[in-house]
Amino acid sequence: MSQVLPSTIPAALFHERADAIALTARELAQHGWTPATSSNFSMRVDADHAAITISGRDKGKLGRNDIMLVNMDGKAVGTDSRPSAETELHTQVYRRWPEVNAVLHTHSRTQSVASRLFAKHGVIRLEGWELQKAIHGHTTHESVLDIPVFPNTQHMPELVAQVDAWLDAGKPLHAYLINGHGIYTWGRDMAEAQRHLEALEFLLGCELDLRRLNA
Ligand SMILES: [Zn+2]
């Protein structure tokens, strides 16, 4: 299905974003973090639009034509393709942080297990790990990094409201888990978003290992 762009968005800009999303998706799929066509990825295109993965595509085989344009309400623009069911969670991030330009959502085994284990606390507290410094604004392992775990639902407005409530309480947010589901994180560019995702995957794995070892 073809993508018709608004006159304000140059084709080269959209293609650059689409290619960057597809490349990252293929890399993350190679890690095994996007099983069974799950996960979704996006980049901001301008103040009013984002490029996002089309629903249901194999993330290990993504190309430019698997990416579509949406507005900041998460609605398709210039295409009949269907965006991911979770598009509203991406556009929420772009609306809340004008400086954020990439959002990544994956369903790795580590993320899924950690979300189940910590759901009863509603949060995973990361403290004392050197790799916390990979998260923007964190300069020491002595800082505290809280990753909330929100209950899963197929009704996106409920999830959006949970994220809003966390932020409106004035709590910092660099990522969140959804129980039994996966993780969302983001960055000012794709490289930063990917660094956040890789660091969090590693740190969640460390927390799970400590519990396996009963340490
Ligand atoms: Zn998902």
**182 Cα: distance to centroid of ligand 1 (angstroms):** 6
Question: Strands 49-53 and 67-71, how do they pair?
Answer: antiparallel
Q: What distance in Å separates the CA atoms of residue 105 and residue 5, rounded to the nearest whole number? A: 25
Q: Looking at residue 85, what is its pLDDT?
A: 85
Average pLDDT of the segment spanning 85-104: 96
**Is 196 annotated as belonging to a binding site?**
no
Average pLDDT of the segment spanning 131-159: 92
The burial class, CB within 10 Å (0-12 / 13-18 / 19+), for 115 is buried
**139 Cα: distance to centroid of ligand 1 (angstroms):** 30
Summarize the chain as % helix, strand, coil (round to 5): 40, 20, 35
Q: What distance in Å separates the CA atoms of residue 146 and residue 76, rounded to the nearest whole number? A: 33
Q: Is the pLDDT of residue 1 over 60?
A: no
For the stretch 186-210, pLDDT in tens is 999 999 999 999 999 999 999 999 9
Of 139, 126, 129, 211, the C-alpha closest to 175 is 126
Q: Looking at residue 137, what is its pLDDT?
A: 85
**85 Cα: distance to centroid of ligand 1 (angstroms):** 8
For the stretch 34-90, pLDDT in tens is 988 889 999 999 999 999 999 988 888 999 999 999 999 999 999 999 998 899 999
Share of the chain above pLDDT 70, in %: 100
**37 Cα: distance to centroid of ligand 1 (angstroms):** 10
Q: What distance in Å separates the CA atoms of residue 181 and residue 64, rounded to the nearest whole number? A: 26
**75 Cα: distance to centroid of ligand 1 (angstroms):** 18
Average pLDDT of the segment spanning 17-32: 95
pTM of the model: 0.96
Q: Is the pLDDT of residue 21 over 90?
A: yes
- Average pLDDT of the chain is 95
**38 Cα: distance to centroid of ligand 1 (angstroms):** 6
Q: Is the pLDDT of residue 128 over 80?
A: yes
What is the chain's length?
A: 215
Q: Provide the edge-to-edge strand list for the sheet that holds 67-71.
A: 67-71, 49-53, 40-46, 102-106, 182-187, 175-178, 144-150, 123-127
**215 Cα: distance to centroid of ligand 1 (angstroms):** 31
Average pLDDT of the segment spanning 83-107: 96
**111 Cα: distance to centroid of ligand 1 (angstroms):** 11
**2 Cα: distance to centroid of ligand 1 (angstroms):** 25
Cβ partners under 8 Å of residue 134, min gap 6: 195, 196, 198, 199
**214 Cα: distance to centroid of ligand 1 (angstroms):** 30
Alpha helices (H) along 31-155? 87-96, 109-118
**Is 107 annotated as belonging to a binding site?**
yes
**Is residue 10 very low, low, confident or very high in pLDDT (cuts 50, 70, 90)?**
very high
Q: What distance in Å separates the CA atoms of residue 104 and residue 115, rounded to the nearest whole number? A: 17
**132 Cα: distance to centroid of ligand 1 (angstroms):** 24
Q: Set out the domains of the chain in order of their start, with CATH numbers.
A: 11-212 (3.40.225.10)
